Structure 1
């Protein structure tokens, strides 16, 4: 892959977790100040005015991300905070599921993502590239009018070499066309699908609410409605992911209702997809949105990323961390105990005593009694039956097999020692029972059986 072109300074920003400060925006942008109303020394805006909603989006993108966009009057104007929260969550998913096990952003890591349904704003690719200079984005849409505006916005921000857009000629076409794009693998797929299955479904969503929608909607029918609504659309992505599997590290989707999230999570569980994550993308005190992500690879996101935001118990994935309380044992003493224990196992173990952090990688369960006994017998048999190497035999194939075996990791765990507690972070693996078993081994070594 050729190096990415030099870009302006990228933006580092955390989640939006409250309402936007209109006073701050008005002080930074005269265009926004002009559309604000003031009463009792407090600024407010009319969210039922399409021009006001557009200006707020343009101002937030300009002031917080250094982006500029143009929007048609007959297509969706995307609220920025929730969209950014979606991008930020994907960043954390990738940052905490890398081969380095660092849980931090690696500025040198090149990432390729796909936005299904970029819309006229092209907001997700723009936000992704503005915040991470080593990221590239592909985007698709079934609407030529929206795609024309999206391309203008890409050009206006100088991102032609990092954002690639493609028209989907049919609503029935593949949603993740990796082969058609000449791409073998992607780091993530994202989508903000139409939430409703029909116009009646959309109208029904407002029935019984005490207040009208928080902002005027200018979306076209293809942006608001599709067969099966958000659940139907995301189910199509799920079906395609079952064929593509590990060619994409993370499949993600935004959902409009908690019930939609519950339905998709239930589908994942029925299909045996155990590595998934969920989030609530609420940015202020009004509209809530949710997102789900799933992966067929073994890297596990950090626990606060896998279970992010305000959620209900029924959608939570398996926890990826356990904490063991250690009373009467110093951080150093606890570290020495576990260092000695793990060194005696047939695993890879990287221990840093000065920081109190160790990373263990295992190809299988080698700590149970049965596993230790079987391992001992296997070594005896292998030693007695080992054939002699014939002269002139090519050893390269055997070396390659050994290298391939070294890449097989059934479980990876990071152990962090602190005063009074030890945290075990599930880094990699598809078998929760294996992680639980290793946690039990560690707990018995530290505090004894209970």
Structure 2
């Protein structure tokens, strides 16, 4: 992970130190070139983003730590401007007390998990990446829901594998194969099992027993692969409707 120079000047560094509620536990040992750069960490990471546009999928994930939470929104805006929608943000404690933030972005279409993509607490949902998980509850037991899930997806023209022991399955498709129009069009289609890296959409479904406060079963749909969030939302809507019948 890149650890960029956080500040743009000595004044910026001193101002940041004064804003902290408690003094640092250790003295700063970084050199001027390590701590400061023109434009501070925002400009530094923006240059990283510009350079990543040349490398793209040759690097799976680009990552950088940040010293200021306020930098996240500016950098997220930059990602949106250049068309990067697959990203993750988080916060963590470096050492014993120092809070830091981090942002990661990718040109690939393999999606990070919910906890990785949305690792930031106490923030507006609009500032977070699109949620890669969807769940709903059922009054049926988990085995009945699992059977229904496998029944629905086994009829579709997609690469689908279901494990009855753990009530979980993984599926991949090249496009929407579940809408009414797509099902009519695909009646005579043959499922071609190809490299999953080449598929446009991938998902994982897990059926579990719900908690005591909820109903009988909980189904979680995890977005594994794809750039099209509307496709993921469409799939989740279809599964909820079909499993509720």
Query: TM-score scaled to structure 1, two decimals?
Result: 0.50
CA distance change for structure 1 residues 249 and 441 in 2, over 3 Å: closer, same or farther? same
Conserved 8 A contact 2:3-2:66: yes
Distance in structure 1 (CA, Å) of the matches to 2:136 and 2:89: 25
Distance in structure 2 (CA, Å) of the matches to 1:290 and 1:431: 27
Write out aligned runs for 1:105-254 (5 A): 190-254=1-65
Conserved 8 A contact 2:172-2:196: no
Distance in structure 2 (CA, Å) of the matches to 1:242 and 1:255: 20
Write out aligned runs for 1:51-450 (5 A): 190-283=1-94, 286-313=97-124, 314-327=126-139, 329-376=140-187, 407-419=197-209, 420-448=217-245
CA distance change for structure 1 residues 296 and 444 in 2, over 3 Å: closer, same or farther? same
Shift of 1:316: 1.1
CA distance change for structure 1 residues 359 and 250 in 2, over 3 Å: closer, same or farther? same
Question: What residue is the counterpart of 1:21 in the other structure?
Answer: none
Conserved 8 A contact 1:278-1:315: no
Structure of greater Rg: 1
Secondary structure of 1:191's counterpart equals coil
Greater strand proportion? 2
Deviations along 1:377-402, one digit per CA (max 9) or x if unpaired, are xx59xxxxxxxxxxxxxxxxxxxxx8
- Two-structure CA RMSD over aligned residues (Å): 2.2
Shift of 1:342: 0.5
Secondary structure of 1:424's counterpart equals strand
Shift of 1:284: 7.2
Secondary structure of 1:205's counterpart equals helix
Conserved 8 A contact 1:214-1:287: no
Conserved 8 A contact 1:345-1:367: yes
Conserved 8 A contact 1:261-1:315: no
Shift of 1:309: 4.3
Greater RCO, 1 or 2 (C-alpha within 8 Å, sep 6+): 2
**What is the number of equivalent residue pairs in this alignment?**
236
Write out aligned runs for 1:24-39 (5 A): none
Shift of 1:350: 0.4
Shift of 1:373: 3.1
